[in-house]
Amino acid sequence: MNNNNTLTESVAMPEPAAERTTKAKKATAAAVFGTFVEYYDFSIYGYLAATLALVFFPSDDPTTGLLNTFLVFGSAFLVRPIGAVAFGWLGDKVGRRASLIASITLMGIAATLIGLLPGYAQIGVWAPILLVALRMLQGFSAGGEIGGAASYIREWAPANRRSLYISFLPSIAQFGKGLAAAIAGLAAAWLTDPQMAEWGWRVPFLLALPLGIIGLWMRLGIEDSPEFESKKAEETEPKSAPFAELVRDYMRPLTKVMMISMVQNIGTYIGTVFIAAYFSSILGYSKGQASTIVLVAVSFAALMIPLAGQLGSIIGSKAVLRLAYLGYAVLSIPSFMLMQQGHVSLAMAGLALGMVPYALCLAGTYSVMPEFFPTHVRHTGVAFGHSVGAVIGGGIGPFMATWLIGASGNQMAPAFILCGAGVIGLLVLWTVRKHADADDNKHQFS
């Protein structure tokens, strides 16, 4: 990006400040609510894993059925990088708005179809095959969501409040997970196990349809950021595809974003998705108790994330990430020790303790990632880097935690994984430097 381009991006804001602020808030609300819906759609599978194992992978060995279910969960991550490239091209070439509309539509359709899918007892092996296909469709959609939403909010938010504005993205997303946990918990509490296996598991998936319609309506009413429109207007000749330019010119920052995302996704999918099955299938809590514990802890994290975002506006997002990684390295073992005491209140306190580094990590991660890339490849860079990290951290994390517990018999295995992730994160941050001459629109980290 040359200096003239940077100057143009900085001054191309024709609307008055008050009008821009109003549009920024509307844009942030639409991006955040859409991500709330997508996280509900994507997470409900994990909270119903124990029931889905019975419906789609009947087996005499419960652990085998649960492993198969988490393999399908992980399959969604395999196609996330492909979705990131596709939605990144759409977001960087056509517009962030178009990408956000397409991603929420696709996710809602996939979740609804899962809710209508016959089980193994009805159509045999076709049931898990179709489940994998629809789960991968969800993964494809998720690959473009967070990169588009984070880039979009970053470009609308005031420069001195970006960390706070972006922090609402993972914060409200936690309420999407919390709603998923609450619906799963209510279904488990009100219905018998046979009723859950027969039809109860479908209800949470089918709720994706009305939620998706609301999110789509909100996103249809927004417009692209002035920063993106200005950059698009400057292009006098076609550039190379965003992904090709990203790999050619930004491989170093892209690799760091992948690693930062990997650590974040290990914490996310072990600490908020795998943990529900861990409580019920490993520690012996009821499904209703497990969902309640997760709901309270995730709600606690959701309230903490904007505070962490505000902290990032004061000390910087990189410093917030450093605190998060230290927290994972130090707090994970005592957190899991509390969960294993056999009391709901102690389990809740243990998971809440684990939510402290988790909240710091989410606020720091989503604020830092867009700063590694300039405007014209930002959507692709954030989406692809985050998706590859999600494949490694989110796709493998729950499966590895389940496998390690089964192979070693050590129920502390998830804590050890989180400790290791924290150490990796600290090593990555040690290599990240900030540009001394960074302005409001130029990428700041490398």
In angstroms, the CA 218 to CA 291 distance is: 29
Write the CA distances from 365 to 78, 225, 276, 353, 435, integer angstroms. 21, 22, 24, 19, 18
Label residue 115 exposed, middle or buried (CB < 10 Å: 0-12, 13-18, 19+).
Answer: middle
- Structure tokens that stand for 420 in this block: 């290791």
Is 79 within the bounds of a domain?
Answer: yes
Is 221 within the bounds of a domain?
Answer: yes
> Residues in the chain with pLDDT < 50?
1-14, 436-441
Q: Which helix (H) or strand (E) holds 2?
A: none
Q: What is the pLDDT of residue 9?
A: 39
**Assign residue 124 a region: left if phi > 0, alpha if psi is -120 to 50, beta otherwise?**
left
- Terminal Cα distance for the chain, rounded: 15
- Structure tokens that stand for 192 in this block: 């018998």
Is 322 within the bounds of a domain?
Answer: yes
Is 3 within the bounds of a domain?
Answer: no
Whichever domain contains 60, its CATH number is 1.20.1250.20
Q: Which helix (H) or strand (E) holds 373?
A: none
Cα atoms in the 13 Å half-sphere on the side-chain side of 264? 28
Q: What is the pLDDT of residue 124?
A: 86
Is 69 within the bounds of a domain?
Answer: yes
Write the CA distances from 169 to 18, 149, 154, 219, 322, integer angstroms. 22, 8, 11, 15, 20
- Structure tokens that stand for 355 in this block: 């939510």
Other CB atoms within 10 Å distance of the CB of residue 390: 28
Which residue has tokens 């990240």? 432
Q: What is the pLDDT of residue 12?
A: 43
In angstroms, the CA 324 to CA 304 distance is: 12
In angstroms, the CA 138 to CA 82 distance is: 12
List of residues 6+ apart from 195 with CB closer than 8 A: none
- Structure tokens that stand for 438 in this block: 């960074």
Contact between 114 and 131 under an 8 Å Cβ cutoff? The reply is yes
- Structure tokens that stand for 117 in this block: 């899918």
Q: What is the pLDDT of residue 7?
A: 33
| Mean pLDDT (the chain, rounded) | 85
Separation of CA 225 from chain center:
23
Is 2 within the bounds of a domain?
Answer: no
Cα atoms in the 13 Å half-sphere on the side-chain side of 317? 29
Is 36 within the bounds of a domain?
Answer: yes
In angstroms, the CA 32 to CA 326 distance is: 28
Is 376 within the bounds of a domain?
Answer: yes
Domain range for 67 is 15-230+241-430
Render pLDDT for 140-168 as a digit per residue (tens, 0 to 9).
Answer: 988 888 888 988 998 888 877 888 899 99
Structural domains in the chain (count)? 1
Length in residues, the chain: 446
At 239, give phi and psi (nearest 5°): -95, 170
Q: What is the pLDDT of residue 60?
A: 65
Which residue has tokens 């299938």? 281
* 3-state SS class at 262: helix
- Structure tokens that stand for 182 in this block: 């609450």
Q: What is the pTM of this model?
A: 0.79
